[in-house]
Amino acid sequence: MKRKLAAGNWKMNGTGADLAELARLVSAHPDPACEILICPPATLVHRAAGLSQGGTLKIGGQDCHAAQSGAHTGDISADMLRDAGASHVITGHSERRQDHGESDAAVRAKSEAAIAAGLVAVICVGESLEQREAGQTLAVIGSQLEGSIPDGITGDSVVIAYEPIWAIGTGKVPTVEQIGEVHGFMRDRLAERFGRSVAGAIRLLYGGSVKAANAAEIFAVGDVDGALVGGASLTAEDFSPIVAALEASS
Ligand code: 13P
């Protein structure tokens, strides 16, 4: 059966002292009924993986280069993340699409590299406020899915995260109807391209201002298989109730 996924993206936050939060998280969920993934900054991936207690807690990167190695100063390859103990990597987060000009083609190439290295690619899509207000949400999501997801994926090799840009870090959350509409659309699009059985096995996460107070209502939406959480994943105190809400919905 498909395991739901509670994922935390620490973004550019955290130094060694914050690893204590991971130890707290692991002890709060020794035998979780869902998967738990934390994507700390690259500097902490190796140490975080050492705390993962036989794999109960999965550790991921926040980005990877599309190439295996080479003259790319400051970049990190999927193989390097894997070597450091990561099992997942986020690709195509809107902050990378915006801050680093990453196109759908670049996100696809990174996702291919991740899968080739044996990592699960957590591929992010999401519309801007202008696009939503112009009624373009489904068209934008459809073309991001088409351009960013590699061919030949399996239900295990990718996770898709729907993160409306206007909901990230703003405290604004789409209605459950809006989340359900996009997630249902994504499932249908994936089924058209990869077939019903692969599409049904892919975890679809919602991300954008998920907190303990709204988690249960979001997890009750059809086709929501978990969350990608930013700010509320930085401490065990904030993230643990979100994990518990997902466990309760599993
Ligand atoms: P917030 O949960 O802080 O809104 O961030 C969401 C996000 O971007 C996770 O990748």
In this predicted structure, what is the pLDDT of residue 45? 98
* Spacing, Cα 247 to ligand 1 middle (Å): 20
pLDDT band, very low/low/confident/very high, at 2 (cuts 50, 70, 90): confident
What is the domain count for the chain?
1
Q: Is the CB of 163 under 6 A from ligand 1?
A: yes
**Would the pLDDT of 250 be above 80?**
no
Q: List the residue whose alpha carbon is closest to atom 1 of ligand 1.
A: 230
**Is 100 noted as a catalytic residue in this protein?**
no
Ligand 1 atom nearest residue 90's Cα: 10
Look up the CATH number of the domain holding residue 232: 3.20.20.70
Show the domain range for 87. Answer: 5-249
User: Quick one: average pLDDT of 12-39?
Assistant: 96
Orientation of helix 104-116 relative to helix 137-148, angle to 10°: 40
Spot the catalytic one: 29, 88, 93, 183: 93
The pTM of the whole model exceeds 0.95 = yes
- What percent of the chain has a predicted confidence (pLDDT) above 90? 96
User: Quick one: average pLDDT of 200-209?
Assistant: 98
Q: Is the CB of 60 under 6 A from ligand 1?
A: no
Contact assessment for residue 106 and residue 55, using Cβ atoms and an 8 Å cutoff: no
Q: Is the CB of 169 under 6 A from ligand 1?
A: yes
Alpha-carbon span 81 to 121, nearest angstrom:
12
pLDDT digits (tens, 9 = 90+) for 91-130: 999 999 999 999 999 999 999 999 999 999 999 999 999 9
Helix (H, G, I), strand (E, B) or coil at 206: strand
* Spacing, Cα 188 to ligand 1 middle (Å): 25
Helix (H, G, I), strand (E, B) or coil at 195: coil
- Residue 7 exposure: Cα atoms within 13 Å on the Cβ side: 35
Sequence-separated (6 or more) residues with CB below 8 Å from residue 103: 97, 147
